[in-house]
């Protein structure tokens, strides 16, 4: 159905894709894997006719859909040909409701008015739109009020809405999925994979990008491995193993880090009592939790049970009720900036809106908080109060970070908006660790990060925890990661603390605790 | 209580207080003020409604509604030139005006698509440009290139139209339909319903598929392409609709006044309409029909009573005149500043809260 021949794409002097050829048949699920910046999103954007591709000079090569040569100049044309795409950074409109987002450009109308007026000028039927949206969400096993605003929902719910928008289309023939599972936990992922399987059985071709090799091997019929913009392998998923694919992607094997020495009890640096956060879709209903100094604490829960709300509530991004003590001091009503100055920092799971200055350079992004809150990187020759930044030191630091985090870019002056999704995430982590806070709360730190860089970043967390004594709280849906680096893992259920488990505990025990069954300690 | 305080826009509140204060100082009879406001509500209402769609589509205040007004005036001059009787002239004016404003609206839309992010200043300049071209055509073109049929409206030197054109066939043609008297208060019911019908139409458009697309483009202009919407086309549609509504609004305005100030009648329509809309509680990124209706009443109350209030307070009616333009420009400036402050993540949340209510 889809055939690509010798696709080349350059961004200025940089080559993003080099003679990429592949074929996908109807009803096939095709996996696409590769390290951060290997050109996966770029390939999907070409297939979808994104305007960024046009603006950066187009591409060379032949793109055949059903045997006809295509060259889309805008996504509208691609959509008309039955192509749908789930975007890495989402294409949702946060101010609009869930139903409006799912049915955008396919809104349901009243039959009578539709007959009377041209399509564009006929009234939108809110109830039947909401009903259609609800049905689509049911196919994804999600029970959600379709009339609420999308912007306040948690990221994994938004991910499902983004998927629902595409699968609600009747004319869908080719579905492009760019890292749809990056922030989903195992249960949600399984749900999604079954839905995708049933779509493929109906004859829809699916191109699936992910960094989790396991699910790729489980779901896909065939897979293509990209390395630095080139196809290095294309094989049936049945014939490959995680090991062989890893070696193809990275060239070397990946050593998994894990924590060796664990901290024993120390006094709490942060303690919350009866902590309630009203973050839609991810509420906390009275959490009691102590975070000890110098430890790495993992937080895990099913989606919607509150793990993402903890950080947002503590930093004050979302209002909370209850008591919060930071280093023995009551901070129940401090604004965000004050909390940052007290040595607290929070990296939310959402990067495009809240975490990055997309137009600015990598350099500016990395030092931003440190420059403004920590008074670091000030020019030594100027009086301090003038706050003249020391560009040389900043540049040196940025170059150091780029090497250390393995950020694939053209240099510290490239703007962050041009980086691939995983590399943007690395910039954010560099930003947070540059601030060297006493307590760092991170949501989904390895979202969209490839297998090699993930180990690097986990290792860095262990490093700063060891050398600078930074306390780290990680809310993640990847149990495996948490088990490897945490001292304790808190399991939340229905917005409350359900259990605190030892990372060495059995997987089965975790599964039970996460699903709310009582555990004995 | 708290939600009430948040719902009240400070600008609206200020207007309400100022209007009441000026009303009490001026000592004017309420019935008289009421009549004046009803007249002005009908005269200017549709023009203010024309601003709502572009704001929803994220293009800010469309100062280029002046172009719509110019289209209406072109139709009017032609009608006078051919000396048509009342009803027919109305049809001619509407046909010429709407056709012209669709064409010009399209071109304005194309211009604005090239000036994304700077729409407001661009519309202001387009308004100035259109005014000067229009003045050139009627001052020099008429009588030289275009042959007039009605010499009465020409200047004595033969080229150019007179400053003032009398519209005797046309004056209060519509206002006199279904005139209702309630004591001293006089309501032209038909025109009142026309303005309300126009408001309903705008509200209807905002709830159609197109209206939803306007909102989507307004919220995230950079993302809607990914959703299969053609943002350039949608923005052009917004401006065309706005220009057409403005044109109809100006026809109502002129027939109410009954005289055409050929070179100046359209001049301040944009500023006063924008100020009225903002006074009603709209912002540069969010406007609703309710804001327009409240805004017209508030803004024109202050407009009507301020000269008399100036006379009574300072013994000088000129001060009140001065106060009028101060109020108009002041509202726009204050509303713009308030808007900039509310932008950003905070603004998004506020807007969400507004919608949730
Ligand atoms: N708009 C752009 N301008 C310049 N360079 C770009 C632009 N978009 C992407 N690139 C570059 O193209 C390369 C491929 O990026 P792409 O987004 O396709 O990576 P990816 O495989 O999706 O990675 P990830 O797993 O991190 O999402 C990167 O080196 C990136 O820096
Ligand atoms: Mg990507």
Write out the DSSP string of A165-210: HHHT-TT--EEEEESTTTT--HHHHHHHHHHHHHHHHTT-EEEEE-
Q: What is the pLDDT of residue B192?
A: 92
**In the block, which residue shows the tokens 């975490």?**
A355
- The predicted-structure confidence for A479-489, as pLDDT tens digits, reads as follows 888 998 898 99
Is residue A35 within 8 A of residue A227, CB to CB? The reply is yes
Tokens for A128, please give them. Answer: 């039947």
Q: What is the pLDDT of residue A468?
A: 86
| pLDDT-based confidence at residue A517 (cuts at 50, 70, 90) | confident
| pLDDT-based confidence at residue B354 (cuts at 50, 70, 90) | very low
Q: What is the pLDDT of residue B6?
A: 58
Q: Is the pLDDT at A99 greater than 70, yes or no?
A: yes
Listed residue (B126, B101, B99) closest to B111, CA to CA? B126
- Ligand 1 lined by A31 (C-beta under 6 Å): no
Q: What is the pLDDT of residue A263?
A: 65
| Distance set, CA B245 to CA B98, B255, B266 (Å) | 9, 16, 14
**In the block, which residue shows the tokens 């007959």?**
A115
Q: What is the pLDDT of residue B288?
A: 92
Is residue A33 within 8 A of residue A223, CB to CB? The reply is yes
Nearest 5°: CA angle at A12, between A9 and A18?
Answer: 25
Q: Which ligand is nearest to the CA of A425?
A: 1
- The predicted-structure confidence for B184-234, as pLDDT tens digits, reads as follows 888 889 999 999 999 999 999 999 999 999 999 999 888 898 898 999 999
- The predicted-structure confidence for A109-144, as pLDDT tens digits, reads as follows 898 888 888 888 889 999 999 999 999 999 888 888
Q: Which ligand is nearest to the CA of A50?
A: 1
DSSP class of residue A123?
B
Q: What is the pLDDT of residue B350?
A: 40
- The predicted-structure confidence for A487-512, as pLDDT tens digits, reads as follows 899 999 888 899 898 888 888 888 88
- The predicted-structure confidence for B92-102, as pLDDT tens digits, reads as follows 899 999 999 99
On chain A, the residues whose CB falls within 8 A of the CB of B212 are 96, 100, 104, 107, 124
List Cβ neighbours of B32 (8 Å cut-off, separation of 6 or more): B184
- The CA distance from A74 to the nearest CA of chain B, in Å, is 7
Q: What is the pLDDT of residue B27?
A: 85
What's the whole-number mean pLDDT along residues A48-68?
90
Q: What is the pLDDT of residue A67?
A: 87
Task: Count residue pairs from A and B with Cβ separation < 8 A.
Answer: 88
Provide long-range contacts, Cβ within 8 A and 24+ apart, for B129-137.
B130/B64, B130/B66, B130/B67, B130/B70, B130/B104, B131/B66, B131/B70, B131/B266, B131/B267, B134/B70, B134/B73, B134/B74, B135/B263
**In the block, which residue shows the tokens 């001059």?**
B77
In the reported structure, the alpha carbon of residue B92 is separated from the centroid of ligand 2 by a whole-number distance in angstroms of 58
Rounded mean pLDDT of chain A?
A: 87
- The predicted-structure confidence for A352-405, as pLDDT tens digits, reads as follows 666 788 888 898 888 888 887 777 788 888 887 777 888 888 899 999 999 888
ipTM tops the 0.95 cut: no
Distance CA A457, CA A476 (A): 14
CA-based nearest residue in chain B for residue A86: B226
B34/B341: higher pLDDT: B34
| pLDDT-based confidence at residue B339 (cuts at 50, 70, 90) | low
Q: Is the pLDDT at A241 greater than 70, yes or no?
A: yes
Q: What is the pLDDT of residue B286?
A: 87
Crossing angle between the packed helical segments A391-405 and A421-434, to the nearest 10 degrees: 120
Q: Is the pLDDT at B340 greater than 80, yes or no?
A: no
List Cβ neighbours of B147 (8 Å cut-off, separation of 6 or more): none
Mark the residues whose beta carbon lies below 5 A from ion ligand 2: A 41, 88, 420-421
Is residue A161 within 8 A of residue A102, CB to CB? The reply is yes
| pLDDT-based confidence at residue B107 (cuts at 50, 70, 90) | very high
What's the whole-number mean pLDDT along residues B119-133?
94
Atom of ligand 1 nearest to the CA of A52: 1
| pLDDT-based confidence at residue B5 (cuts at 50, 70, 90) | low
What's the whole-number mean pLDDT along residues B275-299?
90
Chain B contact probe: residue of A91, A99, A145, A161 with most B CBs at under 10 A = A91
Mutate which of A12, A13, A39, A211 for ligand 1? The one with the most ligand atoms within 8 Å of its CB, which is A39
B290/B178: higher pLDDT: B290
Atom of ligand 1 nearest to the CA of A35: 25
Give the CA count within 13 Å in the CB-facing half-sphere of A204: 27
On chain A, the residues whose CB falls within 8 A of the CB of B354 are none
Q: What is the pLDDT of residue A253?
A: 67
Element (H, E) at A455: helix A451-467
Task: Give the dihedral of Cα atoms A296, A299, A300, A305; nearest 10 deg.
Answer: 180
Contact A105 B227 (CB under 8 A): yes
By Cβ distance, the residue of A91, A120, A149 closest to B356 is A149
Is residue A345 within 8 A of residue A372, CB to CB? The reply is no
| pLDDT-based confidence at residue B284 (cuts at 50, 70, 90) | confident
Residues of B with CB under 8 A from a CB of A: 204-205, 207-213, 215-216, 219-220, 223-230, 345, 348-349, 351-352, 355-356
- Ligand 1 lined by A52 (C-beta under 6 Å): yes
DSSP-derived pairing of the beta strands A268-277 and A284-292: antiparallel
DSSP class of residue A221?
S
Distance CA A443, CA A420 (A): 19
Q: What is the pLDDT of residue B1?
A: 44
Q: Is the pLDDT at A214 greater than 80, yes or no?
A: yes
Highest mean pLDDT (candidates A12-16, A383-387, A446-450, A487-491): A487-491
DSSP class of residue A509?
H
Q: What percent of chain A has a predicted confidence (pLDDT) above 70?
A: 98
Element (H, E) at A497: strand A496-501
| pLDDT-based confidence at residue A9 (cuts at 50, 70, 90) | very high
List the beta bridge partners of residue A489. A298, A501
Q: What is the pLDDT of residue B235?
A: 95
Q: What percent of chain B has a predicted confidence (pLDDT) above 70?
A: 92
Determine the straight-line distance between the first and last CA of chain B, rounded to whole angstroms.
Answer: 14
- The predicted-structure confidence for A311-365, as pLDDT tens digits, reads as follows 888 888 888 888 888 888 887 777 777 888 888 889 888 776 667 888 888 988 8
Q: What is the pLDDT of residue A209?
A: 93
- Ligand 1 lined by A122 (C-beta under 6 Å): no
By Cβ distance, the residue of A74, A96, A119 closest to B219 is A96
Q: What is the pLDDT of residue A360?
A: 87
A258/A463: higher pLDDT: A463
Least confident of A254-258, B67-71, B247-251: A254-258
What's the whole-number mean pLDDT along residues A14-27?
90
What's the whole-number mean pLDDT along residues A405-418?
87
| pLDDT-based confidence at residue B341 (cuts at 50, 70, 90) | low
Give the CA count within 13 Å in the CB-facing half-sphere of A513: 25
Q: What is the pLDDT of residue B347?
A: 39
Q: What is the pLDDT of residue B232?
A: 93
| pLDDT-based confidence at residue B86 (cuts at 50, 70, 90) | confident
Mutate which of A7, A11, A411 for ligand 1? The one with the most ligand atoms within 8 Å of its CB, which is A11
Q: Is the pLDDT at A242 greater than 80, yes or no?
A: yes
- Ligand 1 lined by A50 (C-beta under 6 Å): no
Please state the φ and ψ torsions of residue B125, each to the nearest 5 degrees: -70, -40
Least confident of A90-99, A170-179, B198-207, B304-313: B304-313
Q: What is the pLDDT of residue A353?
A: 66
Tokens for A475, please give them. Answer: 């809310």
Listed residue (A312, A302, A346) closest to A157, CA to CA? A302
Q: What is the pLDDT of residue B328?
A: 77
Listed residue (A361, A388, A363) closest to A376, CA to CA? A388
Chain A contact probe: residue of B56, B227, B232, B354 with most A CBs at under 10 A = B227
Residue B60, by phi and psi: left (phi above 0), alpha (psi -120 to 50) or beta? left
CATH class of this structure's domain B2-356: mainly alpha
Within A222-295, strands assigned E span: 222-227, 230-236, 268-277, 284-292
For chain B, give every domain's residue range: 2-356
| pLDDT-based confidence at residue B143 (cuts at 50, 70, 90) | confident
Atom of ligand 1 nearest to the CA of A450: 25
On chain B, the residues whose CB falls within 8 A of the CB of A107 are 209, 212
- Ligand 1 lined by A419 (C-beta under 6 Å): yes
In the reported structure, the alpha carbon of residue B266 is separated from the centroid of ligand 2 by a whole-number distance in angstroms of 53
Contact A148 B356 (CB under 8 A): yes
**In the block, which residue shows the tokens 């601030």?**
A435
Is residue A27 within 8 A of residue A77, CB to CB? The reply is no
In the reported structure, the alpha carbon of residue B32 is separated from the centroid of ligand 1 by a whole-number distance in angstroms of 68
Q: What is the pLDDT of residue A164?
A: 94
In the reported structure, the alpha carbon of residue A43 is separated from the centroid of ligand 2 by a whole-number distance in angstroms of 9
**Domains and their CATH numbers in chain A:** 1-82+172-253 (3.40.50.300), 91-170 (no CATH), 266-343+439-520 (3.40.50.300), 352-436 (3.40.50.300)
Rounded mean pLDDT of chain B?
A: 85
Contact A94 B348 (CB under 8 A): yes
Q: Which ligand is nearest to the CA of A448?
A: 1
Tokens for A465, please give them. Answer: 């925890």
What's the whole-number mean pLDDT along residues A194-215?
92
Within B153-203, strands assigned E span: 164-166, 179-182, 185-188
Contact A121 B208 (CB under 8 A): yes
- The predicted-structure confidence for A390-402, as pLDDT tens digits, reads as follows 888 889 999 999 9
């Amino acid at each position: 159905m889809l055939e690509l021949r010798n696709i080349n794409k350059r961004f200025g002097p940089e080559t993003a894709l080099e003679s990429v050829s592949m074929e996908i048949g109807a009803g096939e699920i095709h996996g696409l894997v590769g390290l951060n910046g290997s050109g996966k999103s770029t390939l999907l954007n070409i297939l979808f006719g994104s305007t960024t591709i046009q603006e950066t000079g187009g591409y060379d090569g032949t793109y055949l859909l059903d045997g006809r040569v295509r060259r889309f100049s805008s996504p509208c044309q691609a959509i008309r040909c039955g192509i749908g795409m789930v975007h890495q950074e989402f294409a949702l409109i946060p101010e609009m409701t869930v139903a409006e987002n799912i049915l955008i450009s396919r809104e349901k109308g009243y039959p009578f008015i539709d007959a009377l007026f041209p399509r564009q000028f006929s009234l939108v039927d809110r109830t039947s739109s909401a009903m259609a949206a609800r049905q689509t969400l049911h196919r994804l096993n999600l029970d959600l009020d379709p009339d609420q605003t999308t912007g306040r929902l948690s990221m994994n719910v938004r991910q499902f809405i983004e998927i629902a928008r595409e699968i609600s289309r009747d004319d869908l023939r080719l579905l492009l999925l760019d890292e749809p599972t990056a922030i989903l936990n195992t249960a949600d992922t399984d749900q999604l994979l079954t839905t995708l399987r049933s779509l493929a059985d109906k004859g829809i071709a699916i191109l699936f990008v992910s960094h989790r090799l396991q699910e790729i091997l489980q779901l896909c019929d065939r897979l293509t491995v990209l390395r630095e913009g080139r196809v290095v392998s294309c094989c049936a998923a049945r014939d490959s193993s995680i090991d062989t694919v890893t070696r193809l992607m990275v060239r070397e094997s990946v050593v998994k880090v894990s924590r060796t020495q664990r901290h024993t009890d120390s006094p709490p640096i942060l303690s919350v009592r009866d902590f309630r956060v009203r973050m839609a879709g991810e509420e906390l209903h009275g959490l009691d939790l102590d975070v000890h100094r110098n430890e790495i604490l993992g937080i895990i829960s099913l989606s919607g049970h509150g793990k993402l709300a903890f950080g947002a509530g503590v930093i004050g991004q979302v209002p909370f009720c209850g008591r919060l003590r930071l280093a023995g001091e009551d901070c129940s009503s401090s604004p965000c900036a004050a909390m940052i100055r007290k040595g607290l920092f929070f990296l939310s799971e959402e990067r495009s809106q809240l975490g990055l200055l997309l137009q600015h350079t990598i350099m500016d992004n990395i030092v931003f908080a440190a420059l403004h809150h920590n008074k670091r990187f000030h020019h030594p020759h100027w009086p301090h109060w003038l706050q003249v930044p020391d560009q040389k030191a900043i540049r040196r630091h940025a170059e150091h970070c780029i090497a250390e985090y393995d950020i694939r870019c053209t240099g510290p002056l490239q703007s962050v908006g041009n980086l691939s999704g995983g590399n943007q995430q690395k910039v954010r982590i560099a930003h947070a660790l540059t601030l060297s806070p006493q307590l760092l709360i991170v949501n989904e730190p390895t979202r969209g990060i490839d297998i090699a860089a993930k180990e690097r970043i986990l290792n860095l967390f262990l490093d700063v925890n060891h050398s600078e004594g930074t306390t780290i709280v990680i809310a993640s849906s990847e149990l495996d990661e948490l088990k490897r680096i945490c001292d304790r893992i808190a399991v939340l259920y229905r917005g409350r603390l359900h259990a605190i488990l030892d990372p060495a505990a059995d997987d089965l025990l975790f599964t039970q605790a996460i699903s709310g069954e009582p555990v004995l300690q | 209580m708290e939600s009430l305080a948040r719902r009240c826009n400070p600008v609206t509140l200020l207007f309400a207080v100022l209007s009441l204060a000026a009303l009490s100082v001026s000592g004017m009879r309420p019935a008289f003020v009421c009549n004046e406001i009803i007249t002005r509500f009908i005269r200017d209402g549709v023009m203010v409604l024309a601003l709502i769609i572009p704001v929803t589509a994220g293009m800010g205040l469309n100062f280029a509604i002046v172009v719509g007004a110019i289209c209406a005036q072109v139709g009017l001059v032609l009608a006078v030139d051919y000396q048509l009787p009342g009803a027919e002239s109305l049809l001619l004016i509407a046909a010429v005006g709407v056709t012209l404003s669709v064409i010009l609206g399209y071109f304005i839309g194309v211009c604005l698509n090239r000036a994304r992010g700077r729409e407001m200043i661009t519309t202001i300049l387009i308004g100035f440009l259109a005014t000067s071209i229009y003045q050139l055509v009627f001052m020099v073109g008429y009588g030289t290139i275009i042959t007039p049929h009605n010499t009465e409206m020409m200047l004595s030197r033969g080229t150019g139209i007179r400053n003032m054109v009398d519209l005797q066939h046309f004056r209060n043609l519509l206002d006199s339909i279904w005139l209702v008297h309630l004591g001293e208060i006089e309501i032209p019911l038909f025109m009142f319903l026309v303005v309300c019908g126009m408001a309903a139409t705008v509200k209807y458009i905002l709830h159609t598929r197109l209206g939803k697309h306007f909102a989507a483009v307004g919220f995230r202009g950079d993302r809607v392409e990914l959703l299969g919407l053609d943002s350039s086309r949608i923005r052009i549609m917004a401006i065309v609709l706005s220009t057409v509504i403005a044109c109809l609004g100006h026809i109502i305005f002129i027939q109410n006044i009954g005289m055409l100030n050929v070179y100046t009648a359209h001049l301040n329509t944009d500023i006063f309409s924008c100020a009225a809309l903002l006074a009603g509680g709209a912002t540069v990124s969010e406007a609703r029909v309710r804001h327009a209706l409240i805004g017209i009443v508030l803004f024109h109350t202050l407009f009507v009573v301020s000269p008399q209030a100036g006379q009574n307070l300072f013994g000088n009616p000129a001060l009140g005149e001065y106060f009028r333009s101060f109020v108009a420009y002041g509202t726009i400036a204050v509303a713009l500043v308030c808007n900039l402050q509310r932008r950003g993540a905070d603004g998004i949340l506020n807007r969400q809260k507004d919608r949730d209510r």
